[in-house]
Structure formats: structure tokens, C-alpha cells
Amino acid sequence: MARKKQGRFSRYIRPITYLIDLSIINFLVIREILNNIPDVWLCVLISIVWILIAIFSRFYNIYRYTPEIKILNLLLIQFTLFLLAIFSVSGIFPLLEIVPKTILLFTLYAALSIGLIKFSIYYFMLKFRADFGGNYRRTVIIGNGAESYGLERFFDEKTGTGYRHIKTITPSKNEDLSKYFKFILEENIDEIYCSLPSLSQSQIKKIIDFAENNLKTIKFVPSFENLYSKKLKHETYDYVPVLSLRKILLEDPFNNFVKRLFDILFSLILVCCVLSWLTPLLAIIIKAESRGPVFFKQARNGYNFKQFYCYKFRSMKTNSKADSMQATRNDKRLTKVGTFLRKTSIDEFPQFFNVLAGNMSVVGPRPHMIKENEKYLKTIDKFMVRHFIKPGITGLAQVNGYRGEIETNSDIVNRIKFDVNYIENWTLLLDVKIIILTVFNLFRGEKKAY
């Protein structure tokens, strides 16, 4: 039986977009950098740089199920690295006399042009699949369960992704599957999705044998009941498939490098432009109102649960309970300036020095006091997962209302769920979004900002 070719022409989209993007880049090189004077070697060099970065960042790895935010993140990473590379080229070849303004304009024009084309192709393919039924794949789901119904809903609602769901088959365990296999062949099904919890081992084996002998794509839908993680990581150990409970994106060296670079640049800008003048001003005000140091330092658990000192502007009178008792509403320990600092979160600004030191990130799970950690790691399931990455000055949980005092167990449980979601779905664009929401919340005011 011949295997149906998936994507009659979609396999040509990637090489076509490569050619379009390289044409735009070379046109802009000649126009913006070389002032309409052709110079083949520079065009070739920049083209090679673009391709290498694209391979490294997986810029062209976009599929029918890729969300828009992922595409934006790919654009951001690609052009950040490309900008740095062009600056390097200008430094290596000073005779070209490329000024920084020219490089910035060149990169901006390229980003806008390529981004527009990338999204145009993406939305055209969605429209083509949804309205004309082109380049679609016929699917069946074998088995039932919450995940199966969710997948069926995805196929039915997201028609632009190019799946046409034909049927959900719900056999009883150990039922003979021959009639269903006949149906799959008669309906020219392309992909079979198996709900693992509702099928017996013998049924799964028969489905695998049938799919492989009839050149059908087979995929498995596991159950995630009682798991916060919904992104199992697949690896192969000497041809043996292994599933990890979750995929931590920041364990990837490239992702870790991008996040660290962003942390350093963002923190340096804030330290130079804000803390350079704000710190001496606040020092005078804090010292004038109450005795004690300008900065307050507290031991907290960070990456891999290692302890570090987290710095803040002092917002309380010196007291013996600072390391064991969280700030509460109308806390009498707060100074007048401290109340303002905590309300606006300015007291957290010295943590940008923690970011530069490498024990914190701008965005990540908020670090807790040692006493709080000792309390919750014994009573709250999955609490330790949040320590797989560096803690942050702000985080996904904080911009969704879970900041400050923990009043009930649901507060900490929901905070962990948001932290795990962030760990498994990190993108640079998500960091930018969280920072923007944090700034917005500062001006809007938050109930638990005390």
C-alpha cells in the first residue's frame, strides 16, 4: 500500500520562505549598507550568517499547530542574534564603515518585511485549510477520556490547522478491532490517535501493528490526571524511548543563553537609568524616617534549592520577626515610606543586582522565605518543581493575582500551577509580556500589594 504524501505542496513552503527571506536581506544589504554598490562577498557572508542563525534558533520550524506567540518568539530571537552578528561583521571589517544607525535600520526593515511575509504565509495556509479543505489530514481517535474529548474539540474548532476529524472510536477493553481497522482503510484515514488509558496492552499492540503495516501515522494520547505537567519530554537512550515528566525549556543551552543575555541587558539599563539616582534619594528618606540599614537582605531558596541573599530596600522598622513572618495587611512594622515602596514594588528594585550576580532572573517563580519553604515543601504537592529554574523579580503567578501574603492553601497551590506553566512554556516573548503586565499592575494598583 502506497503511503499518501502529506502536504502536497506544503513541503515546498520552507525552501520558498528561505529564498524570499534571503532575497529581502540581500536587497537591504545592497540598499542600506552598500548604498546600491554590489559587493558579492558581503552578501554571501550575511546570507551564511542568516542561515546559520536560523538553523540554530529553528526559525523555520513552523508547523500547522504552531501558535502565533511561538512565531513572534522565533522572530524576536532570530533578529536579536542577527543584529548582534551584523555588529560583529562591522567590527571585523572596519573598512566597510558601517555606522550603528545603518545596522539598526537594516535590521528593523528586515524584521518588519520578513515578519510580515511569515505571518502572511501562516494565515494564508490557515485560510486555505479552513475554507478550501486543502492540505488536510483525516484523523480518528481510538478510545475515550478527557484528553480524547479535548483533542476532538481541537480538531473540530481549529479547522485552520488542517485536520479533518472523521470519527472517535470507543471500543471496550479487549474488544476485537478488526471492524475499526476496516473503517480506517475505507475512509482513507491519515493519522490514528490512541487514548492510552482506555485501551488494553494487546489492543495497543494490534493498533501499532496495523498502522505500521498500512503506512498510517500513529500518535498516543496519555492521561495527565493529577499531573500539573502536560508536556512530557521524549528522549531515546540507545533506541529505547524514554518519557520525562516535563520538559524544562531553560535547560536548553541556547534558551538559557538568550534568557541570561536578556536579564543582563534589561538589568543594566534599569540599574544605570533608574537605580543610579533613585538609590541615594531613597537612602536619605529611609534613614531619615527610621534607624537601620538602607537595604534589607534575607536568605531565600533559589535554583536547585540553593540559598542566596535576596536584597530589597528596607520597608520595615528593624524587628526580630523579619525572617519568619510575612508582611500582612496594615502591618505595624511598616514605615511610611516602606508602605509606599511595597505598594509600588519599588522595594524589589535592588534585586536587579541579584540578577546581575546570577542568582535571580528578571522573570521567574518568586523566591520564598526559608520558613515558608520549610512549611510548604512538606504539605504542598509539586512545591519543589518551582526550584528547577532561577527565581524571578516578577512572575506569571504574580501578574495573575497570586503575589504577596499567602492567606490560604489555594493561594500557594495556584501559584505553583502558574510557576509550572511558566517553566514548561517559557519564551522570551512571555518574559516581555509578564514585565509589561507587571508595570501595568503597578500603575493600576493591586489588592495584595502591601
Question: Does the reported pTM lie above 0.85?
Answer: no
Mean pLDDT of 186-213: 86
| pLDDT reading at 6 higher than 50 | no
Confidence of residue 435 (pLDDT cuts 50, 70, 90): very high
- What does the pLDDT read at residue 65? 65
Q: Are strands 191-195 and 163-169 parallel, antiparallel or unpaired?
A: unpaired
More confident residue, 324 or 433: 433
Lowest mean pLDDT of 71-85, 199-213, 310-324, name the range.
310-324
pLDDT band at 67 (very low <50, low <70, confident <90, very high): confident
**Residue 133: what pLDDT?**
57
pLDDT computed for residue 226 by the predictor: 45
Q: What percent of the chain has pLDDT over 70?
A: 84
The pLDDT score that the predictor gives to residue 240 is 53
Q: Domain 136-225 is of which CATH architecture?
A: 3-Layer(aba) Sandwich (3.40)
pLDDT value of residue 244 = 60
CB contact at 8 A, 82 and 113: no
Report which of 376, 422, 425 is spatially closest to residue 397, judged by C-alpha positions: 422
For residues 183-196, average pLDDT: 88
CA distance 85 to 450: 45
The band of 310, judged by pLDDT with boundaries at 50, 70 and 90, is: very high
Which range (109-123, 139-153, 221-235) has the least confidence? 221-235
Please report which confidence band the pLDDT of residue 109 belongs to, taking 50, 70 and 90 as the band edges.
Answer: very high
Average pLDDT rounded to a whole number, residues 376-392: 83
**Residue 35, pLDDT score:** 63
| Residue 360: pLDDT over 50 | yes
Name every residue whose Cβ is closer than 8 Å to that of residue 338 and which is 6 or more positions away in sequence. 286, 314, 315, 316, 347
Q: Is the pLDDT of residue 194 over 80?
A: yes
**Mean pLDDT, rounded, of the chain:** 82
Confidence of residue 349 (pLDDT cuts 50, 70, 90): very high
Mean pLDDT, rounded, for 123-147 = 75
- Name the packing angle between helices 13-28 and 100-132 (round to 10°): 150
pLDDT in tens, 19-54: 899 999 988 888 877 665 556 788 888 889 999 998
pLDDT digits (tens, 9 = 90+) for 232-250: 666 554 445 555 656 778 8
Tens-place pLDDT, residues 252-299 = 888 888 899 999 999 999 999 999 999 999 999 999 988 889 999 999
Would you say 439 and 264 are in contact if contact means Cβ atoms under 8 Å apart? no
Question: Any idea where the domains of the chain sit in the sequence?
Answer: 10-131, 136-225, 253-444
pLDDT of residue 232: 61
Q: What is the pLDDT of residue 285?
A: 92
Find the helix or strand (DSSP H, E) in which 259 lies: helix 253-270
Rounded Cα distance between 372 and 325, Å, is 9
- 3-class DSSP state of 138: strand
| Sequence-distant (≥ 6) Cβ neighbours of residue 346 within 8 angstroms | 278, 282, 313, 340
